[in-house]
Amino acid sequence: MQSKGDKMQNCRLRLMRSLMTVLALCWLALAAQPVLAQAPKYPNRPIRIIVPVPPGGGVDLLARTIGAKMSDRLGVPVLIENRPGASAAIGTEMLAKAAPDGYTIMMGYTVHATNALFNPKLPYDTLKDFQPIAYVCYIPLVLVTPPALPANSVKELIALAKAKPGNLSYASGGAGAGAHLSGELFRYLAGVDVTHIPYKGNGPAITDLLGGQVSMLFDTITTSIPHIRAGKMKALAVTSRKRSSLTPELPTMIEAGLPDFEVSGWYMMLAPAGVPRDILSLLNAEVNVAIKDPAIGAKLASQGVEWEGGSPERAEQFLRSEMTRWGKIIKETGMKAD
């Protein structure tokens, strides 16, 4: 049986041990503070924007414009890396394999929603492997032909295609892109036989249209309008539901006699899945600031760009809705990724 003195001694020992434990924990907390304070703040090195098409098209233009604004505000270089091929799948796979640290992002476009619908064996999952940052904008497409093509309206173009089945061709920036979807929808709704000529982006497709190597192209109005105004392309109609303020004289494809023909090229900034929420929020804020900049907005709005913006959640909702919509159309029309 312990004496009163022993009990007091044991009490002192327990008190000392507790005090030592508290002191040790405080020391560890203080020791960790310099480490936490020295954690690098994002961003502290260059950010890379993958552009999955060649230079010269709408995707490239938007990425460079927004990237320049982000660089000015964030204080680090924002580098553009063009990685074309396989209907944007090459560049998109690079993004899927990139570290989810916010230093590699991508300017995606319409094909991001449709690639999986045409090719279920893609080396990535469209919904699981990516995190939308922001829905940037959409741009109406315009049906253009070389000036020498003997058709001055959609009706005349359809008549020409029916008179020469298989002789006319349409270019696109790759399977699943807006130009391809529009071309296939035109072929289906008009009941014509025209050949699809895919390129690695709209830039090369425009070059061959200007040279007369292809018969038609559904191009973003942004990149075609200078050629249209210069008389190097002939414009027949726009693909949006309403006429464009840039070309109010042009009918819509619906007005031209093809009901339910509505297609727009859209653009979305994407990151790999798993990017920390604070970094994702910062990137989203920077994209929104860029597209609301008066100088950028005025410049590109004058070229047909319709700005969107908003939260990552809104962008993801839009992406899912596009996959659902085009899944139904592709099934109904029997479109192929040729």
Same domain assignment for residues 83 and 128: yes
Same-domain pairing of 122 and 173: no
CATH number at residue 153: 3.40.190.10
pTM for this prediction: 0.75
One domain for residues 129 and 151: no
**Any domain includes 195:** yes
pLDDT digits (tens, 9 = 90+) for 106-141: 999 999 999 999 888 999 999 999 999 999 998 889
Q: How high is the mean pLDDT of the chain? A: 88
DSSP annotation string for 211-242: TTSSSEEEEEHHHHHHHHHTTSSEEEEE-SSS
Residues 320 and 325: their CA atoms lie apart, in Å, by: 9
Tell me, yes or no, whether 81 and 65 share the same domain.
Answer: yes
- Is the pLDDT confidence value at 23 over 60? no
DSSP-based three-state secondary structure for 180: helix
Kindly report, residue by residue over 26-59, the tens digit of the pLDDT. 445 555 555 444 557 999 999 999 999 989 878 9
Q: What's the total number of domains in the chain? A: 2
Range of the domain at 154: 140-238
Residue 26 in domain: no
pLDDT at residue number 36: 44
pLDDT at res. 20: 54
Question: Can you tell me the distance from the alpha carbon of 213 to that of 208, in angstroms, rounded to the nearest whole number?
Answer: 5
Inter-residue contact 240 to 305 (CB < 8 Å): no
Domain-located, residue 224: yes
Secondary structure of residue 143 in the 3-state scheme: strand
Residues 96 and 60 in one domain: yes
Whether residue 42 lies inside any domain: the answer is: no
290 falls within a domain: yes
Asked if residue 150 and residue 121 are part of one domain, the reply reads no
Q: Is 23 within the bounds of a domain?
A: no
**Inside any domain, residue 272:** yes
Residue 33 lies in a domain: no
Based on the fold, state whether residues 225 and 147 are members of the same structural domain: yes
CATH of the domain at 288: 3.40.190.150
For residue 120, give the amino acid letter.
P
- Domain co-membership, 54 together with 129: yes
145 shares a domain with 134: no
Answer yes or no: do 117 and 165 share one domain: no
